[in-house]
Structure 1
Amino acid sequence: MSIDTEELTTCPARITLDASQLAFFDGLPSAAPSLQSELGCELEHGHEGSHAALGQQVEATMWWLQWTLSASEINPYTWCPAQQAPGTQSRNDNDCTLFDGHLGRHSSATTYWSADQAA
């Protein structure tokens, strides 16, 4: 089976959490609805820098697992403020679902869009 990169929008990289990473997420004050032991990168296909996957959200803080071929770490972030439909008051499917400061294009629940579309 091959990956058709013409239709691929998200990065295909995956990571399996180790025992200490699972323990970290289990120790957060808000239990994850269904913590997965394997996560996929949520950035756009072909992105630069480390891979990233949302591990868990606790109130306004999102805990993202970031990794390369040689290392991984869990970092706290807030939501990316970009919106496809600026001026809305609450988060919806048109808001970027990545972390503030991410590299590459913005992503919503349904699609990727360029940074100038969010302005």
Structure 2
Amino acid sequence: MHTDQPQDITLADLPEVITRYLDAHRAHDTATALSAFRPDAGVTDEGKTHRGAPAIETWLTRSAGEYTYTIELTGVQKVDVDHYVATHHLEGNFPGGVVDLRYRFTLSGGLIENLVIEP
């Protein structure tokens, strides 16, 4: 039976591809972060969707340099075998200064097919 009730899990229980993306994104390692995505993947951030590797690479590069902030992983959940949520607490020089963001991952073929970042 499929339920949409997320289960709390540990960081160690996340699929490697998600951990690779999160670590690379935090380290501003665009090439490694990009390697976690399918070529036709989509990322939705700040209400805009970036589809395909070139658009995601541009988004990664821009988001890394736009603001200075700290990011702390505060929770990890598994919805089902292909859907995970990683919640982050950010503090920095962006509008509002503090935000909790959910990174909602959809996996396909061992890579990230879709990532939605939202409060």
TM-score normalised by the chain length of structure 1: 0.34
Larger relative contact order, structure 1 or 2 (CA cutoff 8 Å, min sep 6)? 2
TM-score normalised by the chain length of structure 2: 0.34
Q: Greater share of helix residues, 1 or 2?
A: 2
Q: Greater share of strand residues, 1 or 2?
A: 2
Q: Mark the structure with the bigger radius of gyration.
A: 1
